[in-house]
Amino acid sequence: MKIYKIFLLLALAVITGCSDDFLDRQPLDSINTENYPATADELVTIVNGAYQPMQWPKLYNMRMWTTDIIAGNSIVGAGGGTDGIETTNMANFVTSTDNAGALDLWRGPWPGILMSNIVLDVAPTMEINEDIRDRSMGEAYFLRAHYYNILATFFGDVPLVTVPQSSDDDLLPERDPVEEVYAQVINDLTAAAELLPQKSTYNGENLGRVPKAAAYGLLAKVHLSLGNWQEAADAATEVENLGYALNENYADNFSIDNENGIESIFEVQYTDDAGENFWSNDNQSSWTSPFMGPRGANFVAGGYGWNQPTEEFVNSYEDGDLRKDVTILYEGGPEFDGKEYDSDYSHTGYNVRKFLVPLSVVSAYDNSPLNFPVLRYADILLVKAEALNELGRTDEAEDYLNMVRNRAGLEDVAQGLGQEEFKDAVLHERRIELAFEGQRWLDLIRVNNGQYGLDFLHSIGKNNASEKHLLFPIPQIELDRNPNLSQNPGY
């Protein structure tokens, strides 16, 4: 019981800020762990804390989108030299076991898993409002599944911990087979889908919480990664039936004024509160604009020049694709907030545009409130297109692919493509549609055949990439702390 209390305090200790209205501060010295949580408000406080790791630099405020650099869509850029060296090393496939980026991705999910486990342990027996209890459990199931999906994707076998630790023995778990981890993820998402309300039921105060469609959407993506084509298509259909739609304008997906809109299934919520330290986990504002803005150009508050698109990526846009001008800053392209872009602002001649917040809107580098998309309806349409094609139903799949293409101002995909050709078309569409949203690396490693995966990486000059790099190394500091952990092959 003593260990459980320690972990409860650790869980509560990360609830240090607010992420929009539904994450409220609570003084830790007012909490009695003997009977905590005892009320609906206290349960919701722990649930709110389970969301918070997504906001951290360890996950969506940096490391998740830097995987596009590893995948070859972009380079670190920044100030050169050792600036971002951990990401450069990962992108050059010389990742060591003490790499800070891999350590962040390993450590980022665990506090959220810990808090989700506490919620799922105590909530079933709490005598509180049934709707709040069900919603809280649904959120915890989804969040635990989401965090474990991140760990399994990047590291393979990981410790599968589904109950609060209650003894010293629990603190040194072994790695469980990735198949068992994915089975738990699927079970959790299935449970979440049953318990979560629809997005339309969330009012302004709760807007941004996980809705039912997020559980089905992530379930579709997990099944797709496992090759469960029918299950992926079925889960995508569940999302389709919940009333989502594409924004008419692609740019609306990356607008402060349109956050949590009709295309958004789930996004990480940010505010303009940098907390006590912009560089810490206390920060509730987004890093995307200050980090990705052109360096020294005075386009945005900050402007560190990270995540510079490669020429190969920019050249992969089809003529007339409206997404290019939304996604990329390039010389001769549309002005940004009344300013013309110069290719000298970047090592590659390009910068990311889609996440930038102009100085006329946000004047301080540490208070960008732009949310980060985790699941969009366009993503799910492409999941369904890919799954249907794998099932031999390419004619049906064309409709879903064309919905995304047509929104981008492109003609329908060529008819009569073979199954492999159509799959290539879907994967290309995913690369363009979801650029710099942390999806490209996930697509490369889950497919890893034909022109994708290692073959693609080699084709763009990443010749160090090998089979071992499809997983990241378990951080050496974690192996030193837990002798029951083992290293991934080749590291």
Digit-by-digit pLDDT tens for the chain (491 residues) are 444 554 555 555 554 443 334 544 344 444 455 677 899 999 999 999 999 999 999 999 999 999 999 999 999 998 888 999 999 999 999 999 999 999 999 999 999 999 999 999 999 999 999 999 999 999 999 999 999 999 999 999 999 999 987 666 567 899 999 999 999 999 999 999 999 999 999 988 899 999 999 999 999 999 999 999 999 999 999 999 999 999 999 999 999 999 999 999 999 999 887 655 555 566 688 999 999 999 999 999 999 999 999 999 999 999 999 999 999 999 999 999 999 999 999 999 999 999 999 988 888 877 789 999 999 999 999 999 999 999 999 999 999 999 999 999 999 999 999 999 999 999 999 999 999 999 999 999 999 876 788 999 999 999 999 999 999 999 999 999 999 999 999 99
Q: Can you give the chain as a three-state secondary structure string?
A: CHHHHHHHHHHHHCCCCCCCCCCCCCCHHHCCCCCCCCCHHHHHHHHHHHHHHHHCCCCCCCHHHHHHHHCCCEEEECCCCCCCHHHHHHHCCCCCCCCHHHHHHHHCCHHHHHHHHHHHHHHHHCCCCHHHHHHHHHHHHHHHHHHHHHHHHHHCCECCCCCCCCCHHHHCCCCECHHHHHHHHHHHHHHHHHHCCCHHHCCCCCCCCCCHHHHHHHHHHHHHHHCCHHHHHHHHHHHHCCCCCCCCCHHHHHCHHHCCCCCEEEEECCCCCCCCCCCCCCCCCCCHHHHHCCCCCCCECCCCCEEEECHHHHCCCCCCCCHHHHHEEECCCCCECCECCCHHHCCCCEEECCCCCECCCCCCCCCCCCCEEEEEHHHHHHHHHHHHHHCCCHHHHHHHHHHHHHHCCCCCCCCCCCHHHHHHHHHHHHHHHCCCCCCHHHHHHHHCCCCCCHHHHHHCCCCCCCHHHHCCCCCHHHHHHCCCCCCCCCC
pLDDT of residue 164: 87
pLDDT of residue 449: 76
CATH of 2-242+472-481 among 3.10.20.30, 3.30.420.40, 1.25.40.390, 1.10.150.170? 1.25.40.390
- CA dist 158 and 150 (Å) reads 11
pLDDT of residue 44: 95
pTM for the full predicted model: 0.94
Question: What are the residue boundaries of the structural domains of the chain, listed by start?
Answer: 2-242+472-481
pLDDT of residue 24: 44
Task: Kindly report whether the peptide bond that precedes residue 373 is cis, defined as omega within 30 degrees of 0.
Answer: no
pLDDT of residue 2: 44
pLDDT of residue 440: 98
For 81, residues 6+ apart whose C-beta sits below 8 A from its C-beta are none
pLDDT of residue 487: 98
